[in-house]
Structure 1
Amino acid sequence: MKEITIISGKGGTGKTSFTLSLANILSKEKTIVCADCDVDAADMHIIMQPTVLEKHTFISGNLAVMHKEHCSRKDGSSCSICYDLCRFDSIRKTADDFFEIDSGTCEGCKVCVSQCPSKAISFPERKCGEWYISKTRFGTLVHAALDIHAENSGKLVTTVRKEAKKIANEQNADYIIVDGSPGTGCPVIASVTGSDQVIIVTEPTVSGMHDLLRVAKLVKHFSIPFSVIVNKGSINTEKTTEIKTWCTENNIRFLGIIPFSHTVTKAQIETKTIIEYEEDKNNKDLTHVLQEIAKDIIISM
């Protein structure tokens, strides 16, 4: 079993569209498990139209909760220790002269909990989102959704990958296809560590090249084999050539160029991958390119 993780230095390069096409191609002959690790903006489910089999709560950290019925201010006290000590301005005075805690800005530092003389503040575990195991036409999909204001997406990415690997072992799958997070932060590190192969999808723009350099440096740091694809390569052939030259000069495997096409948007509107859309329209312009890239990915592993 091999784990292939697709990432990008920035958002909007076409990373997820390529991931879906790769999953579509491989699922025709192999058993695959997909993991959507772009948990801050998960969207593989939009195209894959999954049937949810399991739903789990994601707990991470704690959150301070005020119980004004236990607060000494109800007995006329002028105590404001929690309000005075909160460095994040998360405790606010209410119209009835009590205090309330803003869950959106509370950092869970526990100062108010430990210093409240009336023990009026509890510290329950914090629900940050949900993760799912679903059935799709390409195979099993493990995906997740963070709640509004929720953090620790790196930890949720780790949970999604762990469950995907567990399911892949149970199904004796050939590949785990991971749609990683964009950028170079904690969620990206959680997406790539331990992968057998990383594919970086970039675009021929100044920001695309800049962020490619950053994310390539990150992947090199973890000594993971990686390759580069230029998506929408026809919109700026000069920049595309520059990226290809950079790969050659740095001994980085260059997998190919996917030309810009309105087919991608049309396929998304119909909740299909590029492969499925072109099959329906009896047109395989992009399909041939994607199939050759997929073949090269498998050969390189």
Structure 2
Amino acid sequence: MIKLAVISGKGGTGKTMVTAALADTSGVPQVLADCDVEAANLSLLLSPRRISTEEFRGLEVGRIDPDICTDCGICESHCRFGAIVRRDDAWAVDPLHCEGCGLCAYVCPMGAIEMVSHVNGEVFTSETDRGYLAHARLFPGSGNSGLLVTEVKKRAMALSKGADLLLADGPPGIGCPLIATVSGMDAVLAVTEPGVSALHDLERLVTVCRRFEVRIFVVINRFDLAEGICQRIEDYCGKEGIVVVGKIPFDPAVVDAVRNGRPATRSDSPAADALRLLRDTLFAELGLS
């Protein structure tokens, strides 16, 4: 099974649109994963039918037992994150600020603080017309998104029996969620656009991905909006030995498709044609039929 993540160095490049198009046209047995747990949008384009919902518990947070606490304030003076607060004239832990380090429990002379599990989000298993989908929702203000991404990937792998492709919609940027997404993948498809900041972010993205020894491919979305910068991106990829597997033109039909909650490949348009060609070129590089 080939494990492929669609990623981007910045938000708004069309990453989820490309992922949905690949899922829609892959033509091979596949399982899908939405690893952008802080803004999971792949389900908006694939009309999933929910199978299961489970709580996700990330790192533990502190909890102060008021019956044991002597109000000494040592925990508050040691907490670097401002998570120890006064509530109802007593010390308490604010779970939105607690980083789960456990220092408060360590320094408490009375043993009044314990570390307890905390619900940070939900993990979903769904079924679509293009295969099973593992996805999740991180609750607002919650951390540990990298752990939740890893959990989504585990669910996808559990659903992958008989699949030739695991296709993951990754998060933007180069932080912990991206690292959790790329880890263990065979290849990544970086979606970029013709902009100076997009090129800069692509360079950072490539630097991170190369540490994981994955094959890197690039597709340039809306390439015709600034063909000069598009050429700079192609020159950079050529210098780095990265294959540009597609260029997608700006096309209002893509906007209409996304607004109507369907993959852009379910229409006849220049962008849809480019996305189908992208699929053929990329899958040939990956050895998928």
- Highest Rg: 1 or 2? 1
For 2:254, the equivalent position in structure 1 comes to: 264
**Aligned equivalent of 2:191, options 198, 201, 220:** 201
**Aligned equivalent of 1:52, options 39, 46, 50:** 50
Task: Indicate the SS of the match to 2:24.
Answer: helix
**Aligned equivalent of 1:90, options 79, 83, 92:** 83
Q: Structure 2 counterpart of 1:300, which letter?
A: E
Task: Indicate the SS of the match to 2:258.
Answer: helix
Cα distance in 1 for residues equivalent to 2:186 and 2:102: 40
Alignment of 1:276-287 (within 5 A): 276=266, 278=267, 283-287=268-272
**Aligned equivalent of 1:238, options 213, 223, 228:** 228
Alignment TM-score, normalising by the size of structure 1: 0.89
Cα distance in 1 for residues equivalent to 2:224 and 2:185: 30
Please list every run of at least 4 consecutive aligned residues from structure 1 whose deviation after the TM superposition is greater than 6 angstroms.
none
For 1:155, the equivalent position in structure 2 comes to: 147
Gapped runs of 5+ residues in structure 1? 74-78
Gapped runs of 5+ residues in structure 2? none
Q: Structure 2 counterpart of 1:250, which letter?
A: E
Q: Compared with structure 1, are the counterparts of its residues 229 and 93 closer, same or farther at alpha carbon in structure 2 (3 Å cutoff)? A: same
Report the Cα offset of residue 118 of structure 1: 4.3
Q: Name the structure with the higher helix share.
A: 1
Deviation string for 1:219-260 (max 9, x for gaps)? 222221111110011110110111112222332111121011
Cα distance in 2 for residues equivalent to 1:150 and 1:131: 14
Q: Compared with structure 1, are the counterparts of its residues 86 and 195 closer, same or farther at alpha carbon in structure 2 (3 Å cutoff)? A: closer
For 1:76, the equivalent position in structure 2 comes to: none
Aligned residues of 2:45 and 2:263 also touching (Cα < 8 A): yes
Deviation string for 1:272-291 (max 9, x for gaps)? 11112x1xxxx332221111
Report the Cα offset of residue 111 of structure 1: 2.9
Cα distance in 2 for residues equivalent to 1:93 and 1:163: 40
Alignment of 1:103-118 (within 5 A): 103-118=95-110
Aligned residues of 2:254 and 2:271 also touching (Cα < 8 A): no
Aligned residues of 2:265 and 2:273 also touching (Cα < 8 A): no
Alignment of 1:1-301 (within 5 A): 1-26=1-26, 29-72=27-70, 79-94=72-87, 96-168=88-160, 170=161, 172-276=162-266, 278=267, 283-301=268-286
Cα distance in 2 for residues equivalent to 1:38 and 1:294: 22
Cα distance in 1 for residues equivalent to 2:90 and 2:102: 19
Identity rate, percent: 35
Report the Cα offset of residue 120 of structure 1: 3.4
Q: Compared with structure 1, are the counterparts of its residues 85 and 245 closer, same or farther at alpha carbon in structure 2 (3 Å cutoff)? A: closer
Cα distance in 1 for residues equivalent to 2:131 and 2:16: 16
Tell me how large the CA RMSD over aligned residues is.
1.7
Cα distance in 2 for residues equivalent to 1:274 and 1:291: 10
Cα distance in 1 for residues equivalent to 2:114 and 2:244: 54
Deviation string for 1:103-153 (max 9, x for gaps)? 111122323323434443332112221111101121100001112222221
Task: Indicate the SS of the match to 1:180.
Answer: strand
Alignment TM-score, normalising by the size of structure 2: 0.93
Aligned length: 286
